Structure 1
Amino acid sequence: MLQAFTGKVLLLFLSLWEIWMYYQFLYATCIEKTQLLKWQRVVMQISIWSIGILFAINRNILFFSHVMFLLGIIYLILILWMVEKKDFIFLASITIIYFSSVALLDFFFAFLGMCMIEDMFAENIYFSGHQIEKIVIYFCSRSCVACILNGIKKYGAEKSIDRFKYIFLVIGVFFSILVRGYQVIISDMAMGRRELQGSKSLVSMSVVIAVLIFLMILWVKNRILQEENNTLVMEEQLQHQKYCEMVEVMEQNRELIHDTKHHFLVVQEYLKNEEYENLQKYIKQISDEFQRTVPKVYTGIKILDFILEQKRVVAQKSGIRYEIDTMLLTGIPTTEQETCALFGNLLDNAIEACCLVETEEKWIEIQINQSNQLLSIEVLNTFEIPCIRKQGVFETIKEERSVHGYGIKSMRRIVDKHQGLITYEEKEKIFITKITFFNV
């Protein structure tokens, strides 16, 4: 009697733990717990106890019930949608994936138990209400879920994963089909309609799940790379637009400088006739438009010269010595948009690194040379904080890495597109970036 009571209590505890971890998984991936209202927390607590008790009662009768599995998922999806009001498809996908994964883990350890106790499987696990073997299986699968949840919390998870909702939906459907398939297999084995083949089922299940996870990782990674590429292209377009606007302003200033003599004649005429009020209005009119910019020629490539000069002004304002050693170029392989992104990010990185140098010895040196069909670009700058290298690639040192680091990726994408070569080197507190284009 005492053993039966203890078994029921343990089943209730494991079922409550499962539902509690479900909400912890949601908090770690898509729900801000701190923003929940009191009534929302109460509703979630009620759902934990209600579904937990129903699961425990059902598992006291049968190892796995597909009807209870579906009812539990539907109930929690509706509760979650009522509380959070997020995208229904996204909430349904996340819920199906979670409970399907728990069920598949239950089947995995059940097949493992079948290999150990063989003919006693039906009596001790499938139909038994509170045998220790059954409780151990539930405990092992939920312990695995707890480890996965701990990893998600430890390494952090992106809270904007709802953009992958259709990928998650497909994964959830596949997992639920697997659950149904293996539920039929395990019930047939328990009822004697099929030969006990725990080892074969265990191997087939492991292979199928491994393949599905592998395909899922490839799919998600491909989607992330596509989004990153779109972000890089958009960033390059914005940079190009910004520099084009600045070039236009520079052209307007050149026109104003050219027309200065005409402005002097007008000013002299107003002074001669003592029309001081009109003179004041005229001076205000031209001063509002006049932004003096002295155009400089470094390479003969208009947009590149403008970027080099604009970054020189930024560097000097930050107290950075800025030297340019270049020559007139016959051409560059990149488009205007790519030129803006490549040199803009390259020089921005150098300036940011120099700004972190606490001593007065901070400088940037730019060398651009062209020989025959070879274009060589070299940027040297002082730095203080060591750079992070991962798999041979330098990463951003900014704190918010999820929203930074696109500049480095953008440069590499452009260089690779034109079959060039980009290398990085650290030498005695000097960071060297070398870019080489061939067949220019």
Structure 2
Amino acid sequence: MLMNQMFWDFMENASMIIEWVSFYLIISQFSPKKRKNKQEVYSFIVIIIFSILLKVLNVYPNERIVICFFIGLIYYKFNFRVNNIKCIMISLIFWLFMLTVEALSISFIVKINSLVNVSELLGKNIYRMETMILSKVILISLIMVVRCLKFRVDIGKGDFIYILTPIATNIIIILVIFGYAFKGGREGFGDNVSIFFVSILLLLSNMSLMFIVSKIIKNNKLKLENEFIKDKLEMEYKYYSNLKDNQEKVKRLYHDIKNHIACIEGNNKETGIRKKYIDSLNSEIDKLNLGFNTGNEVLDVILNNKREKCMENNISLKVFIDFSKVNFIEYFDICTIFSNCIDNAIEACKKIKDNNRYISLKGNCVNNFYVIKIENSKTNKIKKLNGDFLTDKKDKFLHGIGLKNIRLALEKYNGEIIIEPLDDKFILKMLIPINQEKEA
């Protein structure tokens, strides 16, 4: 049976399908889907067929791996909500571990069977079948561990360059080892002990690399969170200081209220003067509004801070939101989502020449989703390129970073963002599943 071509075709195709299923399980662990299940299945079938075609055409294994890597990138980007950096990094890490597992399995089978040449594994024999089974068992075990531990990967541009280099280097080394090992003869890579130990060292190196990468990313995240906490504390201090000042103003206004009434009554014949005086008084009272009560202290502080900017730029800010049910979102992400959204809305309103400047923020629960809707008036036309909305702001980089940060923050909670640019207003909606628990 081992010499039967149909049997080996089945084994190789099954092995290849297991690899692609493992790839799918990994990327679905780190990124939310953006396609319907039917589209996702169709595209998965396409990459399976393409991979079989590469085998039928006898494409060299190393070249086949490179081609499959790029196919995986396209599939990942097409079916999942993921930025380019994360797409490349997750794909590279998967192929790095898969190749390391292959090298380790080959070395182990060669060692325990005392094979003279690694090229013997290319034949239709029991050694080849043992290698295929062992490598897939190890790969599936690693996938299960990753999914059980629920790893998260958030990679920024600053991390990308120095993480990419060692991962790419490891992959190239493994491919070179495969190339020499399967040349056959002792001049290829006859020292089986060397292959075994090199594979072990590569596996340990990759594990160490992943540990270092996770530590670096965690430290960078902690640094950003510390900066946020510092800014948050400053905002809170300013808010409560203003609150105290407003209370003092209310006390003074209370003592003077009779004098104001007397002044109004004294000008009852001068309708214009009286109206102007009342408008002035109402304006002062409006400034003494003590703030928002959304059910979330951090959001209250952010909204009070943004309200001051709106008042400075003659922008009407209306808030109708009860955020008390959304208690699983971290403070850092609340700041990222609302600060960037409102800042972008303020910038759009500032371009309007007349008094039609407004920002409306609403939030309510709809079918187990918390829906946030931010609407603002605008005059500028919104352009779209490759699925991304372009801005006419001078600092295009910061604007782009703002929207990307919103998307990244929402991805942590399987949320989605919907943008609706109309002629005279801009609507941004965010949908967040509310049946979630806050992580410890």
CA distance in 2, matches of 1:103, 1:56: 21
Partner of 1:112: 108
| Partner Cα distance (1:178, 1:162) in 2 | 26
CA positional deviation for 1:10 = 1.5
Question: Is the partner of 1:193 in helix, strand or coil?
Answer: helix
**Alpha-carbon distance between aligned partners in 2 of 1:292 and 1:111, rounded to the nearest angstrom:** 71
Using the TM superposition, give the Cα deviation of residue 11 of structure 1 relative to its aligned residue in structure 2, in angstroms: 1.9
8 Å contact from structure 2 (residues 104, 196) kept in 1: yes
Matches within 5 A, 1:218-257: 218-257=212-251
Cα distance in 2 for residues equivalent to 1:162 and 1:81: 17
- Indicate the SS of the match to 1:224: helix
- Of all paired residues, the percent bearing the same amino acid is 8
C-alpha deviation, 1:230, in angstroms = 1.4
* Bigger mean CA offset, 103-112 vs 242-251: 242-251
Distance (Å, rounded) in 1 between the aligned partners of 2:263 and 2:84: 74
The structural deviation recorded for 1:51 is 0.6
> Cα–Cα, structure 1 residues 16 and 241, in superposed 2: closer, same or farther, change >3 Å?
same
Aligned pair 1:200/2:200, yes or no? no
Instruction: Please give the alpha-carbon distance, in whole angstroms, between the structure 2 residues aligned to 1:133 and 1:260.
Output: 92
Q: What do the CA deviations read for 1:145-183 (whole angstroms, capped 9, x no partner)?
A: 211222222232437557654455334312222212322
The amino acid across from 2:228 in the alignment is M
Checking the alignment, whether the CA contact within 8 Å between 2:111 and 2:192 is kept in structure 1 is yes
Other structure's SS at 2:190 match: coil
Q: Is residue 92–residue 167 contact of structure 2 (8 Å, CA) maintained in 1?
A: yes
Please state how far the C-alpha of 1:247 moved relative to its aligned partner: 0.9
Quote the RMSD (CA, aligned, Å).
3.7
Residues 29-73 of structure 1 deviation map (CA, whole Å, 9 limit, x = unaligned): 2241x63463443122111233146348859xxxx8222222322
Amino acid at match of 1:22: F
Please show how residues 290-301 of structure 1 align to structure 2 within 5 Å. 290=288
Give the conservation status (yes or no) of the 8 Å contact 2:86–2:154: no
User: Measured at CA, do residues 121 and 67 of structure 1 come closer, stay the same or move farther in structure 2, by a change above 3 Å?
Assistant: same
Q: Which amino acid aligns with 1:139?
A: I
Q: 193-202 or 280-289, which moves further after superposition?
A: 280-289
Check whether the contact 1:90–1:168 (CA below 8 A) recurs between aligned residues: no
What is the aligned partner in structure 2 of residue 177 from structure 1? Answer: 172
Among 73, 78, 84, which residue is 1:77 paired with? 73
What CA deviation, in whole Å up to 9, does each residue of 1:211-242 have, x standing for no partner? 34314312331222222221222133123223
Q: In the alignment, what sits opposite 1:16?
A: 17
Q: 1:281 aligns with which of 278, 301, 319?
A: 278
Matched with 2:317 is none
Task: Show the 5 A alignment for 1:265-276.
Answer: 265-270=259-264
1:48 is matched with 48
- CA gap 1:83/1:285 in 2 versus in 1, 3 angstroms: closer
Deviations for 1:304-353, whole angstroms, at most 9, x for unmatched residues?
Answer: xxxxxxxxxxxxxxxxxxxxxxxxxxxxxxxxxxxxxxxxxxxxxxxxxx
Cα 1:133–1:57 shift into 2, 3 Å: farther
Question: Structure 2 vs 1, CA of residues 160 and 276 (structure 1 numbering), >3 Å: closer, same or farther?
Answer: farther
What is the deviation of 1:96? 3.1
Q: CA deviation at 1:122?
A: 4.4
Cα 1:234/1:88, change in 2 over 3 Å:
closer
The CA distance in 1 between the partners of 2:221 and 2:194, in whole Å, is 41
Q: Check conservation: 1:90, 1:166, Cα contact below 8 A.
A: no
CA–CA separation in structure 1 for the residues paired with 2:290 and 2:103: 75
**Residue 400 (structure 2) pairs with residue 400 (structure 1):** no
Q: Deviations over 1:276-328 (max 9, x none)?
A: 985993775564445699xxxxxxxxxxxxxxxxxxxxxxxxxxxxxxxxxxx
In 2, are the aligned partners of 1:112 and 1:198 still within 8 Å (CA)? no
**Conserved? CA contact 1:105–1:141, under 8 Å:** yes
Moved more, 19-28 or 47-56: 47-56
Distance 1:25 1:56, change over 3 A: farther
Larger CA Rg, structure 1 vs 2: 1
* 2:210 aligned residue: 216
Change (3 A) 1:9 1:156: same
Q: Do the aligned residues in 1 keep the contact of 2:154 with 2:217 (CA within 8 Å)?
A: no
Q: 1:167 to 1:141 in 2, by over 3 A?
A: farther
**Structure 1 residues 317-332: aligned runs within 5 Å:** none
Match of 1:137 in 2: 131
Work out the number of aligned pairs and report it. 290
**Partner-residue secondary structure (3-state), 1:118:** coil
The structure-2 alpha-carbon separation of the partners of 1:92 and 1:193, relative to structure 1 and needing over 3 Å to count, comes to same
Relative to structure 1, the CA distance from residue 255 to residue 212 in structure 2 (aligned partners, 3 Å threshold; closer, same or farther) is same
Q: Which runs of 4+ in 1 moved over 6 A?
A: 272-277
Change (3 A) 1:268 1:69: closer
C-alpha change, 1:254 and 1:68, in structure 2 (3 Å) is same
| Residue matched to 2:149 | 155
Matching residue's letter, 1:169:
L
2:96 alignment partner AA: S
Structure 2 CA distance for partners of 1:166 and 1:40, relative to 1, 3 Å? farther
**Structure 1 range deviating more: 21-30 or 64-73:** 64-73
2:175 and 2:2 mapped to 1: Cα distance? Answer: 35
